[in-house]
Amino acid sequence: MKKLFVDLGKNSYDIIFERGLLSHVGDYIKLDGKKLLVMTDDNVAGIYADAVVSSLEKAGYEASLLVLPHGEKTKSFDILPAVYARLLKERITRKDALVALGGGVIGDLCGFVAATYLRGIPFVQIPTSLLAQVDSSIGGKVAVDLPEGKNLVGAFWQPKLVLVDPDALNTLSDAFFTDGMAEVIKYGCIKDKKLFDLLDACGGKSGLMPVIDEVIYRCCDIKREVVEKDEKDKGERMLLNFGHTYGHALEKYYNFEKLSHGMAVSVGMYEICRLAEEKGLTEKGTAETVARVCSAYGLPHTDDAPCRKVVEGVANDKKNLGDKLVTVLLKKIGESYLYPTDAEFFA
Q: Which residues, at least 6 apart from 40, have a Cβ–Cβ distance to it below 8 Å?
A: 48, 49, 65, 66, 67, 68, 100, 101, 102, 106
Smallest distance, Å, CB 179 to ligand GLY?
14
Residue 224 CB, nearest approach to ligand GLY (Å): 11
From 334, 306, 338, select the one nearest 325 (Cα to Cα): 338
DSSP annotation of 167 = G
State in angstroms the smallest separation of the CB of 93 from ligand GLY. 29
Closer of 156 and 254 to ligand GLY (Cβ): 156
Compute CA distances 121 → 23, 185, 238, whole Å.
25, 34, 27
Concatenating the DSSP letter of every residue in 219-263 gives HHHHHHHHHHH-TTSSSGGGGGGTTHHHHHHHHHHTTTTSS-HHH
Nearer to ligand GLY, 74 or 158 (CB): 158
Which residues are CB-neighbours of 146 under 8 A, at least 6 positions away?
76, 77, 152, 153
**Among residues 55 and 158, whose Cβ is nearest to ligand GLY?**
158
State the minimum distance, in angstroms, from the CB of residue 223 to ligand GLY: 7
Query: Quick check: helix, strand or coil at residue 99?
Result: strand
Least Å distance between CB 144 and ligand GLY? Answer: 15
| Of residues 230-269, those binding ligand GLY (CB under 6 A) | 233, 237, 240
Which helix (DSSP H) or strand (DSSP E) does residue 213 occupy? helix 212-229
| Rounded CA separation 311/326 (Å) | 14
Scanning residues 141 to 180, which ones bind ligand GLY (CB under 6 A)?
141
Of 55 and 266, nearer to ligand GLY (C-beta) is 266
The amino acid at residue 277 is E
- In degrees, rounded to 5, the angle at the alpha carbon of residue 141 between the alpha carbons of residues 245 and 37 is 140
**Does the footprint of ligand GLY cover residue 191 (CB under 6 A)?**
no
Q: In angstroms, what is the minimal distance from the CB of 230 to ligand GLY?
A: 9
Q: Which of 108, 135, 192, 251 binds ligand GLY (CB under 6 A)?
A: 135
Stretch that binds ligand GLY, among 64-72, 135-143, 150-158, 161-169 (CB under 6 A): 135-143
Residue nearer to ligand GLY on the CB measure, 141 or 252: 141
Told to check if 186 binds ligand GLY by CB under 6 A, we report no
Choose the stretch contacting ligand GLY; rule: CB under 6 A; options: 69-77, 102-110, 133-141, 191-199.
Answer: 133-141
CB of 237 to ligand GLY, least distance (A): 5
139 contributes a contact to ligand GLY by CB under 6 A: yes
Q: Do 17 and 1 form a contact (C-beta atoms < 8 A)?
A: yes
Where on the chain is the footprint of ligand GLY (CB under 6 A)? 135, 139, 141, 233, 237, 240
